[in-house]
Structure 1
Amino acid sequence: MRKDSTKLVITFVVLIFLLIISISASILYTVNNYLDARRSNVPVFVFFKDNVTKDQAMNYTNSLKTYTPIKSIRFIDKSAALSDILSKLNLPKRSLSENPLPYSLEIFLKPKFAADQSNINSIEKTLKKSDLVDEVRIPKGLFTNISQTYSAFKEFSYALLGVFVLLEIIILALLLKIAYEKNLDSYNKLKLFGVKRARIFLMFLKQTFLSGIFASILVIIIGSLGMFFYINYVNIVPNYKNDILLSFGVSGLANIILSLIIITFLSLFVFFIEDEKK
Structure 2
Amino acid sequence: MKKDSTKLVITFVVLIFLIIISLCASILYTVNDYLDARRSNVPVFVFFKDNVTKNQALQFTQSLKKQASVKQIKFIDKSAALTDILSKLNLPEQQFSENPLPYSLEIFLKPKFAADVSSISYMEKTLKSNPLVDEVRIPKGLFANISQTYSAFKEFAYILLGIFVLLEIIILSLLLKITYEHKRYTFDKLKLLGIKRARIFFVFLNQNFLSWLLASIFACILGAGGMFLYVNYVNIVPNYQNDIVLSFGISGAANIILSLIIIIILSLFVFFIEDEKI
The CA deviation string for residues 35-93 of structure 1, in whole angstroms up to 9 with x for no partner, is: 11211111111011122222222222222222222111121111110110111122222
Alignment of 1:49-128 (within 5 A): 49-128=49-128
**Displaced runs of 4 or more, over 6 A:** none
Q: Which residue of 2 aligns with 1:130?
A: 130
Aligned equivalents of 2:127, 2:234: Cα separation in 1: 44
Q: Which residue of 2 aligns with 1:242?
A: 242
* TM-score (ref. length: structure 2): 0.96
Matched pairs, number:
278
The CA deviation string for residues 146-198 of structure 1, in whole angstroms up to 9 with x for no partner, is: 11111111111111111100000000000001111111111222222222212
Aligned equivalents of 1:65, 1:170: Cα separation in 2: 52
Name the amino acid aligned to 1:9.
V
Q: Which residue of 2 aligns with 1:257?
A: 257
Q: Which residue of 2 aligns with 1:7?
A: 7
Look up the SS of the partner of 1:105 in the other structure. strand
Look up the SS of the partner of 2:275 in the other structure. helix
Look up the SS of the partner of 1:276 in the other structure. coil
Aligned equivalents of 2:74, 2:188: Cα separation in 1: 78
Look up the SS of the partner of 1:85 in the other structure. helix
Question: Please, which moves more after superposition, 236-245 or 57-66?
Answer: 57-66
Aligned equivalents of 1:174, 1:24: Cα separation in 2: 24
Identical residues among aligned pairs (%): 76
Name the amino acid aligned to 1:61.
T
The CA deviation string for residues 234-257 of structure 1, in whole angstroms up to 9 with x for no partner, is: 111112112111111111111111
Q: Which residue of 2 aligns with 1:23?
A: 23
What is the aligned-residue RMSD (CA, Å)?
1.4
Deviation of 1:94 (Å)? 2.7
Look up the SS of the partner of 2:276 in the other structure. helix
Deviation of 1:277 (Å)? 8.9
Q: Which residue of 2 aligns with 1:220?
A: 220
| Residues 6 and 45 of structure 1: CA distance in aligned 2, closer, same or farther (over 3 Å) | same
| Residues 277 and 121 of structure 1: CA distance in aligned 2, closer, same or farther (over 3 Å) | farther
Aligned equivalents of 1:49, 1:81: Cα separation in 2: 15
Look up the SS of the partner of 1:183 in the other structure. helix
Q: Which residue of 1 aligns with 2:268?
A: 268
Mark the runs of 5 or more structure 1 residues left unpaired by the alignment. none
